[in-house]
A and B are shown apart, each in its own frame.
Chain A
């Protein structure tokens, strides 16, 4: 089902992109796969990340976000007064990159369909992994629900930013945010070009990150080789410490929660099996604050820059 939808998506995006290219000069950048191009004017019809068509009759002014990724994007590109509901994680410093903005903001946190509908929203952002029954309930009330997708790559997130910008009628702001991300990524790629690419393993709480994860993409930009992906693993497999030692990565990366930095570093450098890895022996451990490590928004670029800086520092130390 998902594959079929994605196939329809790609086809629709390709057809629309070709039509756009044929009608205007110079050609605009190809639209991301999860976004159907539409004019800035309202009413407009959009295709969301899950392939569902939604119709917006006017520029949304009562926007509700149910996901942290959408919170972070909206704070960057939407006038704050138009946000009337934020996700439950927006004010959680363990995961959120917009704690300061969200704490100052008067919008309540939303979790259930009831929370959201109480706010009389004219646009709700959810994720493709949001509970189907909640989304169905929201849609049945007539509220436009936009599902965001493509969290596994920076390019996908850029597509989501453009899609959010288009949906809320702020495509220029979204474009500026994406351009800024591209420019920062280009700077990292240029800086790391020609340097050795160390074998890097993400290892947080016994879990790694293989291909088809945001970490894989972040590491590609930062100039490292994802050991788990290179070994054929996808998504977030659980690895034993002896497996980590058997692979003996050059660098270990882990997400850390506030106040746990020292404990996590100690676990990675002195834990049985981990202490003997090249990464631990050389002290090549990168600890990334969870909000950046788990981000599916523009803050992914912060993680790219931090990893690239650390890889540079490890290289200089040798």
Chain B
């Protein structure tokens, strides 16, 4: 990691991330099948308050900007922030650099819920069914894992990790079972498989409305809980002697991470690596303190997902790659590079 970046004050890092995020978001709404320059974007945004951007009489550029690209970018920002923050929380709670939002099986639970909605034929009835089922799946899996691992009010972190592995396998098998059933109808199987690869295509303002409230609440809650996570880094016993109600704090962090992950998976499918690599990369710049890490990770995660989506829809234009493929292709090598950097720094 560049020493210049590390020397930046925290406010400077946030400013860099905000500028980066705005630049990527502007590119996100401007670049696509029809290129819309930033000036024209601003003009169209002003026009959107007066002219219709829905229906057959709408200006095509206005329709593309307002009905297709803007909701897509906004959902990308929300999902990126949610996954990255949930990842930072999990890494903080488990004190494990390999932890990610998937570790407590919330994304697998969300995926199972969504696939169930597909197989029941609900996906064609209303856009809200998939997110509703996915959120329910995420919360149910959190409840299961908490019930399995909590005894006499205590929830040992290693037990959470192990139960997460087992529940991930169980829910994954159930999802595979449903997918195998869906192959009776090839178009359903196709939808399910594409959804499992994650993507922001055809996201609408309905998705924004569904995702924004829980993610906003989750992000604010994560900021509030950042101090608790910082205390966790001293160890559970030390945190308790410093006045932290350890078990209650664990439950809160798990619930917030589950809400963030479940909502993200609900509106755009399974997107890997965001919750794993973004917190790592940002931690190298701002350090391990969660009060700094959480806001920086939210900005960086949002920028990463919108940038990955930009790559997904331009690299093989006029067709599109699935977003999960791009985050995996970019994320895995980046993660390996980070590991190499870390090894060099510690001399391992």
Q: Which residues of A contact B (CB under 8 A)?
A: 94, 205-207, 231, 233, 237-243, 245-248, 257, 260, 263, 270, 272-273, 275-276, 280-281
Contacts and interface: CB of A to CB of B under 8 A. Distances in A.
Contacts of B33: 240, 242-243, 245-247
A240 B68 contact: yes
Contacts of B58: 275-276
Q: Which of B32, B58, B68, B317 gathers the greatest number of chain A CB atoms within 10 Å? A: B68
B32 to A, nearest CB: 6
Given A240-B201, A246-B34, A275-B63, 5 more contacts: A231-B318, A237-B318, A247-B33, A260-B124, A273-B64
A207 B318 CA distance: 12
A57 B329 CA distance: 54
Nearest to B322: A238
Contacts of A239: 318-320
A94 B194 CA distance: 21
Interface residues of B, number: 27
A245 B319 contact: no
A272 B63 contact: yes
Contact of A275 (B54, B191, B319): B54
A263 B121 CA distance: 13
Contacts of A207: 190
Contacts of A270: 55
A277 to B, nearest CB: 8
B60 interface: yes
B187 A248 contact: no
Q: Which of A94, A242, A280 gathers the greatest number of chain B CB atoms within 10 Å? A: A242
A276 B63 contact: yes
21 contacts: A205-B191, A231-B318, A233-B318, A233-B319, A239-B318, A239-B320, A240-B201, A240-B202, A240-B313, A241-B68, A242-B32, A242-B34, A242-B64, A242-B68, A243-B33, A246-B34, A257-B187, A272-B54, A275-B56, A276-B60, A276-B63
Closest 10 CB pairs of A and B: A272-B67, A246-B33, A237-B319, A243-B33, A281-B56, A242-B68, A242-B64, A246-B34, A276-B63, A243-B318
A273 B320 contact: no
B343 interface: no
